[in-house]
Amino acid sequence: MKRKIVLYNPKAVFYTMPLGLMAVASCLDRERYEIRIIDGRLEDDPVARVLEELDGALCLGVSVLTGAPIGDALRVMRAAKSRYPELTTVCGGWHPSLFPTDMLEEPSIDITVRGQGEATFTDLVSHLDRGESLESICGIAYREAGDARSNPERPMMPMEVFPPVDYGLIPVEQYFQLKGVRQLDYISSTGCLFRCAFCADPFVYKRGWQAIGPARAADEIEELWQRYQFEDLNFQDETFFTYKKRVAEIAEQILSRKLSFSWAATMRADQGVRLGEDIFSLCKRSGLRRVLIGVESGSPNVLRHIKKDTTVEQIVTSAEMCARHGVAVIFSFIVGIPGETYDDVMQTVSLIKKLRAMSPRFETSIFYYKPYPGSTLSAELTDDMPKSLGEWAEFDYVQGAAGRWVSPQTYDFMERFKFYNRYAWGTERIVKRPIQMLARWRCRHNWFSWPVEKAILQRLRPEPELS
Ligand code: B12
Ligand code: SF4
């Protein structure tokens, strides 16, 4: 008889498909295991839904991002353990990769998996199934005689050895409906070669990067396109544009196979420059609709400090290329990095204005720096970070306020700038044009006193302050 494996994706913002769980599940032998993926975002009562599936299950696997998803994961795992005390619970994903042994202080978590999960979970499931000791399984931590034991690292494996991700494990149409567009999430590479000091990736993947080849990616994408008729493909890779030859081959394959959809991916500014006009144009012809560029700062000093390894010139050049080829961009910025001066912030503000003025298709998102675990920058801020799993669950990474190191002057300025920056550029409906002109004038002159139109707009239609 097949053993059941239940996998849970905690509630989170947006409806991105649970690619992590799909990836680990796709490696399991279907002759032996029956797999259920339950997504908290799709359920009215996720706890009841998980409990319903758990009877006779071999294990419950949960994917855990840092922040609010931890709270939902804990609710589900505690309920599962309380109903089925013998059940093995396994946590994988970003938070367990950063805190593999700390997480085991929570009694409802039995095992944590670090980093790339495909081979580790396959190995773990067969050991659990056979009732064997876990001591030889690389990449996990677990409790042994009450103590946390951490096994050696598992080296990252080439993605080519894993089978294609099985989208039949999730209700794809339901995600399309919730997203409001037939957009498929897809991943063609894992990890990242760079070393940004605010990011957890260098810690989790040790600056390793693995990908599937362009021909295989194209085969998979074509099969998925025929099956689901999606209109947009969202590459969830950390840095899709890592090797320009690979990117060019994927774009060529999309064109030669006459696959008709738009696509979006994440790009670094230096990669945009290296891509060159020809490959940029090829990408555009193959459907490239939008890129997300993590700019972070307009100050060369801050870019150096955070080891971004990109320059302001590269940011502007890649933006010019995107504008020339009609590719939309979300430029994401971080303000409030410890050590940043008011002058650095003003350089960021100038760059934001410059980029926004370049194309109505350019958007900017501005976040206050939050010390994310696992990054070298956050190592200096341990006092400002949560200590327990419960505190991590309450740490708001999406909307939380600025850190204590951000001066009231900078905070006040940025809040006003963020508001007007949203209206100042881009295409606004005719009724809002006068406000747009005024907002643009204010941004150009950094003059945000007497914000009467802000009060009017907020009264008309209160909007979230995040840009
Ligand atoms: C899609 C996505 C989201 C989605 C989540 C979708 C979901 N599943 O619910 C949404 C939009 C909700 C989201 C939100 C945020 N995200 Co996000 N997101 C991503 C992104 C781009 C892709 C994730 C993905 O699908 N990857 C592909 C799969 C195959 O990889 P994976 O999930 O890592 O899974 C592998 C392993 O982790 C492991 N694994 C994962 N789950 C499990 C479970 C088990 C049981 C096992 C055994 C193994 C295992 O095996 C998998 C295969 O190798 C990643 C970057 C990336 N490329 O990973 C960032 C990333 C995960 N996000 C990140 C951040 C910072 C955020 C935000 C704070 C961003 C923001 N400022 O708004 C928010 C807030 C999250 C929160 N606290 O609420 C960080 C890390 C965060 C962290 N420490 O948890 C990442 C790494 C980006 C980065 N470099 O900064 N995100
Ligand atoms: S921010 Fe992006 S480029 Fe930098 S290390 Fe993280 S994933 Fe890589």
Q: Is the CB of 374 under 6 A from ligand 2?
A: no
Whether residue 467 has pLDDT greater than 50:
no
Across 407-419, average pLDDT = 90
Q: Is the CB of 191 under 6 A from ligand 2?
A: no
Q: Dump pLDDT digits (tens) for 157-172.
A: 999 999 999 999 999 9
- Ligand nearest the Cα atom of residue 193: 2
Residue 247, token pair as written in the block: 């990117």
Q: Dump pLDDT digits (tens) for 415-466.
A: 999 989 988 887 766 667 788 888 899 999 998 888 887 777 777 665 543 3
Whether residue 397 has pLDDT greater than 80:
no
Per the confidence metrics, is the pTM higher than 0.85? Answer: yes
Question: What is residue 55's predicted lDDT score, i.e. its pLDDT?
Answer: 94
Whether residue 338 has pLDDT greater than 70:
yes
Atom of ligand 1 nearest to the CA of 124: 47
Question: What is residue 194's predicted lDDT score, i.e. its pLDDT?
Answer: 98
- Ligand nearest the Cα atom of residue 25: 1
Q: How many residues does the chain have?
A: 467
Whether residue 45 has pLDDT greater than 60:
yes
Mutate which of 8, 37, 65, 178 to test ligand 1's pocket (most atoms within 8 Å of Cβ)? Answer: 65
**Rounded distance between C-alpha atoms, residue 51 and residue 177, angstroms:** 26
Whether residue 139 has pLDDT greater than 50:
yes
Q: Is the CB of 424 under 6 A from ligand 2?
A: no
**Phi then psi for 89, rounded to 5 degrees?**
-110, 140
| Mean pLDDT of the residues in the chain | 93
pLDDT class for 181, splitting at 50, 70, 90?
A: very high
- The residue that leads in pLDDT, 371 or 174, is 174
- Strand order through the sheet with 3-9: 33-39, 3-9, 57-63, 88-92, 111-113, 140-144, 147-150
pLDDT class for 346, splitting at 50, 70, 90?
A: very high
Whether residue 140 has pLDDT greater than 90:
yes
Could you tell me if 62 and 89 are in contact, meaning their C-beta atoms sit under 8 angstroms apart? Answer: yes
- The residue that leads in pLDDT, 400 or 173, is 173
Q: Is the CB of 351 under 6 A from ligand 2?
A: no
C-alpha pair distances (Å), 464 with each of 265, 361, 364, 398, 422: 25, 21, 15, 12, 11
| Residue recorded with tokens 């499931």 | 125
Across 80-93, average pLDDT = 97
Whether residue 182 has pLDDT greater than 70:
yes
Could you tell me if 423 and 439 are in contact, meaning their C-beta atoms sit under 8 angstroms apart? Answer: yes
Question: What is residue 405's predicted lDDT score, i.e. its pLDDT?
Answer: 83
Share of the chain above pLDDT 70, in %: 96
